[in-house]
Amino acid sequence: MPGHVMARSGSSEERPSRQINVILRNPEQPVVTQSIPDADLQSTAKAIPQQGVFAEIQKELDQLIGLHHIKDLMYEIYALLQITEMRSEAGLLSNPQVYHMVFKGNPGTGKTTVARIVAKMFQRLGVLSKGHLIEVERADLVGEYIGHTAQKTRDLVKKALGGILFIDEAYSLARGGEKDFGKEAIDTLVKAMEDQKNQFILILAGYSDEMDFFLQCNPGMPSRFPIVIDFPDYTVDQLIQISEGMAKERDYILMPQAILKLKQHLLREKCEGEHAFSNARYVRNVIERSIRSQAVRLLTQFSGSSSPGKLELMTLRQEDLKLDLKEERRL
Ligand SMILES: Nc1ncnc2c1ncn2[C@@H]1O[C@H](COP(=O)(O)OP(=O)(O)OP(=O)(O)O)[C@@H](O)[C@H]1O
Ligand SMILES: [Mg+2]
């Protein structure tokens, strides 16, 4: 995989017009190529192709609420890969990039969802041959006796070749210190990153503080993971937008009173802070539970010969939102 970029199989239509030129955005001083007339500058400030690889990825990213810094980063990586290819065609040096990443954030902030999109983008751009995601945690890597861990870890790396190995709660590998088998897993992973360079991407995920601590404890680690992405907790407004999107995806509509009730509940939940609030997963559980409640309500309401109309079947009312969510918090 010279230069870490393989020739892409897509047609030249997939590449954004060279006339527009992809702009590697620098927030302080945007680099803009000379040939673009002033009037066009605004429209080319973000030269996102209307079709092709990035358009497809863009569509998936657009479905995610917030996460603008991640959307920008994805575009930067895309732009870099395009330019690297053009540079190598022009006989210029193209330094291989390292794409191992650390995702830091609380539960339900979109880490796994984004990892799947990253895998897809790298596959489409020819960086990864398969673009699959293997999601594992400590128990999948760590064995019970000396040598077992290295074998388990190597087997998982093998499975991940051509795709992404995503380790959730990765900090737990350092939990037991020097004598713990977690250390063996880390050493095996580091070795695999050298031996199988560019054949897979490793993403370590976990809570912010724990991941910072984990990286600090392993001096060789930070430089091996040049891309560190924060996944902040969603605001209540973002959670409401996510809920509406989730309802819509399932062909349901949340009534304004239901939205208000959910909003007030989320404000309370987020303020309480007694438990790990699971962000978008929490509202997904709320929506799914409301859908079950609505089904029961409708069956009770229409127990006779009549049946609910289409609008009624789609509507989630205030009373469908059961917000005693101890159950959901555990999920
Ligand atoms: N920004 C977003 N917009 C819309 N839906 C989202 C967003 N972020 C997450 N979700 C949805 O929330 C759910 C949980 O997301 P995901 O599994 O990616 O979170 P996570 O950070 O991996 O959580 P955990 O740390 O617990 O594994 C998924 O159904 C996902 O589609
Ligand atoms: Mg996850």
**Across the chain, how many H-helices and E-strands are there?**
14, 7
Question: Who's near 154: CB < 8 A, 6+ residues apart?
Answer: 188, 192
The fraction of the chain above a pLDDT of 70, given in percent, is 81
φ/ψ (deg, to 5) at 205: -125, 155
Amino acid of residue 137? E
Per-residue model confidence as pLDDT tens digits over 163-197:
999 999 888 888 776 667 888 888 889 889 888 88
Return d(Cα 50, Cα 47) in angstroms, integer. 9
**Bridge-partner residues for 203, per DSSP?**
101, 166
Q: Are 59 and 109 contained in the same domain?
A: no
Q: Are 120 and 6 contained in the same domain?
A: no
Q: Are 278 and 154 contained in the same domain?
A: no
Q: Are 83 and 116 contained in the same domain?
A: no
Q: Are 219 and 104 contained in the same domain?
A: yes
Q: Are 113 and 208 contained in the same domain?
A: yes
Report the pLDDT value the prediction gives residue 326, as an integer from 0 to 100.
58
Q: Are 273 and 288 contained in the same domain?
A: yes
Q: Is 112 in the pocket of ligand 1 (CB under 6 A)?
A: yes
Report the pLDDT value the prediction gives residue 274, as an integer from 0 to 100.
57
Return d(Cα 117, Cα 287) in angstroms, integer. 24
| Domain boundary pick from 181, 215, 232 | 232
Q: Output the CA 89–ligand 2 centroid distance in Å.
A: 38
Q: Are 173 and 226 contained in the same domain?
A: yes
Give the number of domains in the chain: 3
Report the pLDDT value the prediction gives residue 280, as an integer from 0 to 100.
95
- Both structure tokens of 306: 């009549």
Report the pLDDT value the prediction gives residue 10, as an integer from 0 to 100.
36
| Domain boundary pick from 96, 126, 157 | 96
| Domain boundary pick from 181, 205, 232 | 232
Q: Are 92 and 166 contained in the same domain?
A: no
Residue 49 host element (H or E) = none
Of 109, 233, 244, 328, best ligand 1 pocket probe by most atoms within 8 Å of the beta carbon = 109
Residues spanned by the domain of 45: 1-96
Q: What is the pLDDT along the chain (331 residues), one digit of tens a residue?
A: 333 333 333 333 333 333 333 333 333 333 333 333 444 444 445 666 666 888 889 999 999 999 999 999 999 999 998 999 899 999 998 877 889 999 999 999 999 999 999 999 998 888 898 999 999 999 999 888 888 899 999 999 999 999 999 999 888 888 776 667 888 888 889 889 888 888 999 999 999 988 988 888 777 788 889 899 999 999 999 999 999 999 999 999 999 999 999 999 999 888 876 567 899 999 999 999 999 999 999 999 888 778 999 999 999 999 999 887 554 555 4
Q: Output the CA 249–ligand 1 centroid distance in Å.
A: 15
Return d(Cα 282, Cα 295) in angstroms, integer. 20
Give the number of the atom of ligand 1 that is nearest the alpha carbon of residue 115. 18
Return d(Cα 201, Cα 131) in angstroms, integer. 10
CATH number of residue 159's parent domain? 3.40.50.300
pTM for the full predicted model: 0.80
Q: DSSP of 255-274, one letter per residue?
A: -HHHHHHHHHHHHHHHHH-S
Return d(Cα 145, Cα 143) in angstroms, integer. 6
CATH number of residue 268's parent domain? 1.10.8.60
Return d(Cα 187, Cα 83) in angstroms, integer. 34
Q: Are 177 and 253 contained in the same domain?
A: no
Q: Output the CA 245–ligand 2 centroid distance in Å.
A: 19
Q: Are 162 and 183 contained in the same domain?
A: yes
Q: Are 158 and 258 contained in the same domain?
A: no
Report the pLDDT value the prediction gives residue 213, as an integer from 0 to 100.
86
